[in-house]
Amino acid sequence: MTTYEGGLASASVPQTPASEDQERTNRPQTVYDALFQDIVTGRLRAGERLFIDEIAERFGVSKIPVREAMKALEGRGWVESAPRRGTYVRKLSMEELHELFELRQILEPSITALAAHRRRTQHLQQLAALIEEGEAAIAADDFVTSSRVNSEFHSVIAQAADNTLAYAVIQDLELRLCRYFFVASWEERKESMRQHEALYKAIRDQDVDAARRLTVEHLRHTEAMAARSISVRDMA
C-alpha cells in the first residue's frame, strides 16, 4: 500500500446528535434526509414506488411530513410522480448519465488543475485518507463505503481548488452520479482507485498538466463503468 503525505486525517466531520426536542422540531427534514440517503445509496432502487402510509409508519409520523418530504425530493429531481401511478424513485437513464459526464468533462479537468496549484496539507491528508478507506472498502466488498469514498474524493479535490461555486457544483454532481455505480464490478472499482492514487500524486506534486490529463482519462473510465452498471441493472 502506498504511503501518503500527511498521514490519515479523517475525511469527514462527525455530526452532533440532536436533542429529542430538536428531533421533533426537525422531523419533516429527518424524513427527507432519510429518504434522500436511501435513494443515493441505492437502498431505494431506481423506479421503486414510495408509499406514503408505509413511510409514515416507518418514522412514526403523520402523512403530512411524509408528503412534504416527497414534494421536496420531487422538486430536487430525486423522485417523480404520475397521476394514478403514485410516486417513484427517479429512474436511471443513459441520457442523464451522458449529460452529467459531459458537464464533468467541462469542469473537472480545470478544477483538478487548480487543486494541484492551490492544495494545502489538509487536502492531501483528506485525499490520502479517502484512498486508504476506499482500498479497505474494496477489500471488504463494501460497495456503500466504496461509492461514498469515491464521491468524497472528488469533492475534496474541488475544495482544494479553493472555489466555493465549483465545490457546490461538484458535490451536487457526485450525489446525482453515485446511484449509477452500485452494480459496478470490483475490478472496475479497483482500477478507479488506482486512478485516484495517480490523481493524488499529481496534486501532491503540483503537476498541473498531469492533473488535468489524468482527470480526463479518469472521467472516461468512470462514465464507461457507470454505463455498464446501468446495463447490468436493466438485465436484472
Average pLDDT of the segment spanning 64-81? 93
Shared domain for 129 and 222, answered yes or no, is yes
User: Does 9 reside within a domain?
Assistant: no
Quick one: what percent of the chain has pLDDT higher than 90?
A: 61
User: Does 5 reside within a domain?
Assistant: no
Average pLDDT of the segment spanning 149-157? 94
Shared domain for 144 and 103, answered yes or no, is yes
Q: Final residue of a domain: which of 69, 89, 109?
A: 89
Residue 186's pLDDT band (cuts 50, 70, 90): confident
Q: What is the CATH number of the domain that holds 219?
A: 1.20.120.530
Shared domain for 103 and 167, answered yes or no, is yes
Higher pLDDT, 14 or 144: 144
Shared domain for 191 and 210, answered yes or no, is yes
Shared domain for 211 and 109, answered yes or no, is yes
Shared domain for 103 and 131, answered yes or no, is yes
Report the number of distinct structural domains present in the chain: 2
Shared domain for 158 and 52, answered yes or no, is no
Query: If you average pLDDT over every residue of the chain, what do you get?
Result: 85
Residue 88 CA to residue 13 CA, distance in Å, equals: 32
Contact by Cβ (8 Å): 210, 229: no
C-alpha cell, 104: 464533468
Q: What is the CATH number of the domain that holds 53?
A: 1.10.10.10
- The pTM assigned to this predicted structure is 0.76
User: Does 12 reside within a domain?
Assistant: no
Shared domain for 43 and 80, answered yes or no, is yes
Gyration radius (Cα) of the chain, Å: 19
Range picked from 2-6, 37-41, 129-133 for highest mean pLDDT: 129-133
User: Does 125 reside within a domain?
Assistant: yes
Quick one: what percent of the chain has pLDDT higher than 70?
A: 84
Full strand arrangement of the beta sheet holding 79-82 = 49-50, 86-89, 79-82
Close Cβ partners of 99 (under 8 Å, ≥ 6 residues apart): none
Q: Final residue of a domain: which of 72, 89, 106?
A: 89
Span 160-180, pLDDT tens digits: 999 999 999 999 998 888 888
Higher pLDDT, 230 or 67: 67
User: Does 13 reside within a domain?
Assistant: no
Q: State which residues form the domain around 176.
A: 94-235
Residue 85's pLDDT band (cuts 50, 70, 90): confident
Shared domain for 67 and 127, answered yes or no, is no
Residue 236 has pLDDT above 50, yes or no: no
Shared domain for 153 and 67, answered yes or no, is no
Span 220-231, pLDDT tens digits: 999 998 888 777
Residue 40 has pLDDT above 50, yes or no: yes
Residue 25 has pLDDT above 80, yes or no: no
Shared domain for 122 and 81, answered yes or no, is no
User: Does 124 reside within a domain?
Assistant: yes
Shared domain for 72 and 50, answered yes or no, is yes
